[in-house]
Amino acid sequence: MVKPAADSSQHSICPCKGKENISNFMDFLRPSFGEKILLMGDVSYYGKYLRKAGADVTIFEHAENFNNSAVIKNSNCSIVDGLPEYMPFKDSCFDKIVFLNHFNSFEDEKKVLKEVDRVLKLHGDIIIEEVNPNGIIRKICVVFMKLMGFKCKYYAPGEMARLFKGLGYSGEINDVENKKFIFVGKKLN
């Protein structure tokens, strides 16, 4: 069970700028014994703590992006190489899918969403922490990244909620320190 957005602190659950937010992360995710969790993005050593809480953790990352220290820090987790457009997992195998600073950079967004929906169990949770693109500095960064050829789609909080509602998820948005947001969605069908 994930902590409801209204009850959670207004702090990040992602590792950022040398600051680990592991207590926020664990309090927010509330992992349970045997729960299957898929971590994607900036996972730092968070998988290790989920494993200590009894969760079955898989870190999914493309080999080009492997952060060797994250692999070493999470040695007690399954680490799977691949692209999010083609996830090598069985249907309905995860209770929770967590994206940390990673939901904005897919080659084929529709395929990724289809794969996420395929591997998440019915009534499973999706948790996404991402930068809020509504600030002027973030808008400039987005334009710059697009000019550099990056295929990035930065969703505003409302857009994220509408996107997943259209896919059959209920969801809540939690603003984080006016720079980021956390979307918590539940797969309903």
The two tokens of residue 140 are 């400039």
The CA-atom distances, in angstroms, between 86 and each of 16, 112, 135, 137 are: 28, 8, 33, 33
- Give the model confidence (pLDDT) of 7-22 as tens digits: 444 667 665 655 567 7
- Please tell me whether residue 106 adopts helix, strand or coil conformation: coil
- Give the model confidence (pLDDT) of 55-76 as tens digits: 999 988 765 655 555 666 667 7
Distance of CA 186 to the CA centre of its chain: 13
Angle value at C-alpha 28, between 8 and 132, nearest 5 degrees: 70
Amino acid at 141: C
Amino acid at 157: P
Domain range list for the chain: 5-187
Q: Residue 6 above 60 pLDDT?
A: no
Q: For residue 29, what pLDDT band results from cuts at 50, 70 and 90?
A: confident
Q: Which residues of 134-150 are buried (b: 16+ CB within 10 A; e: fewer)?
A: eeeeeeeebeeeeeeee
Model confidence, pTM: 0.84
CB-based contact 142:133 (threshold 8 Å) = yes
Cβ partners under 8 Å of residue 167, min gap 6: 113, 117
Q: For residue 35, what pLDDT band results from cuts at 50, 70 and 90?
A: very high
Q: What is 144-157 written as a DSSP string?
A: HHHHTT-------H
| Gap between the Cα atoms of 54 and 48, Å rounded | 10
Q: What is the 3-state secondary structure (H, E, C) of 25-75?
A: HHHHHCCCCCCEEEEEECCCCHHHHHHHCCCEEEEEECHHHCCHHHHHHCC
Report the CATH number of the 5-187 domain.
Answer: 3.40.50.150
- Give the model confidence (pLDDT) of 86-138 as tens digits: 999 999 999 999 988 778 777 788 898 999 999 999 999 999 988 888 877 77
